């Protein structure tokens, strides 16, 4: 513990956050992003499936070009054949999303998914982690990555914001 304490005092802000998150993972293993598999995975041998005659065949599938050539030759020979519905006329059904009506209608087409997360001081990180497929409880990893990125590109951020005071103010909110 003394070694960890000494190491903690010597680290910069980003290192302290990283060390805290690692210690949190050790102290509270049920809160980290790692989880056991839902069911035991059998690692011995391949699953036995009945093989049909078609699967045993050595005849190769036609290439894409052969399919296209065959389609064009059939269409040229049958000029009276018309397509019933063009692909541009078909509408792609959109899935319904909860709370979509809370956003301005002009951005509805840009929204791909909505995640309802736990409301706390870290809800923005929870939403990002959930949308990245990491799980809501991995919010600390997202926050940690943001802090590392902020420190790594500090010169660019200082140039972007105009001065170091604004940069430091923003870093306090991460």
Span 95-99, mean pLDDT?
A: 75
Kindly report which listed range (7-16, 52-61, 150-159) carries the lowest average pLDDT score.
52-61
- What rounded mean pLDDT belongs to the chain? 77
CB 32 within 8 A of CB 20: no
Comparing 86 with 107, which gets the higher pLDDT?
107
Tokens representing residue 22 in the block: 């690692």
In sequence order, what DSSP letters do the residues of 1-64 get, joined into one string?
-HHHHHHHHHS-HHHHHHHHHHHHHHH-GGGSS----SSPPP-SSPPP-PPPHHHH--PPPPPH
- How far apart are alpha carbons 140 and 122 in whole angstroms? 8
Phi, psi (degrees; rounded to nearest 5) at 120: -155, -170
- Whole-model pTM: value is 0.41
**Above 60 in pLDDT, residue 86?**
no
Kindly report which listed range (41-50, 130-139, 146-155) carries the lowest average pLDDT score.
41-50
Question: H or E stretch including 142?
Answer: helix 139-152
Closest listed residue to residue 101, CA positions, set 90, 111, 87:
111
Q: Over the stretch 142-153, which tens digit does the pLDDT of each residue have?
A: 988 888 888 898
Span 68-85, mean pLDDT?
A: 59
- Which range among 42-51, 98-107, 135-144 has the greatest average pLDDT? 135-144
Angle among Cα 151, 135, 127 to the nearest 5 degrees reads 65
Span 114-133, mean pLDDT?
A: 86
Tokens representing residue 104 in the block: 């301005």
In sequence order, what DSSP letters do the residues of 101-132 get, joined into one string?
GGS-GGGGGG---------STTHHHHHHHHHT
Span 103-120, mean pLDDT?
A: 84
Q: How confident is the model at residue 59 (pLDDT cuts 50, 70, 90)?
A: low
Q: How far is C-alpha 157 from the geometric centre of its chain's CA atoms? A: 25
- Which range among 1-5, 69-73, 107-111 has the greatest average pLDDT? 1-5
- How far apart are alpha carbons 4 and 21 in whole angstroms? 13
């Amino acid at each position: 513990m003394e070694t960890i304490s000494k190491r903690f005092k010597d680290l910069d802000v980003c290192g302290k956050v990283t060390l805290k998150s690692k210690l949190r993972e050790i102290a509270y293993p049920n809160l980290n992003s790692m989880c056991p598999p839902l069911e035991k995975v059998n690692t011995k041998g391949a699953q036995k499936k009945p093989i049909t005659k078609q699967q045993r065949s050595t005849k190769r599938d036609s290439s894409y070009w052969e399919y296209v050539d065959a389609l064009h030759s059939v269409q040229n020979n049958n000029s009276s054949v018309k397509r019933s519905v063009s692909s541009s006329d078909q509408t792609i059904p959109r899935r319904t999303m909860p709370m979509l009506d809370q956003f301005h209608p002009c951005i509805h087409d840009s929204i791909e998914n909505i995640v309802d997360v736990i409301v706390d001081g870290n809800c923005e990180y929870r939403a990002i982690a959930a949308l990245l497929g990491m799980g809501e409880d991995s919010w600390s990893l997202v926050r940690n990555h943001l802090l590392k990125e902020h420190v790594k590109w500090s010169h660019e951020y200082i140039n972007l914001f105009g001065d170091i005071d604004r940069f430091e103010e923003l870093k306090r909110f991460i």
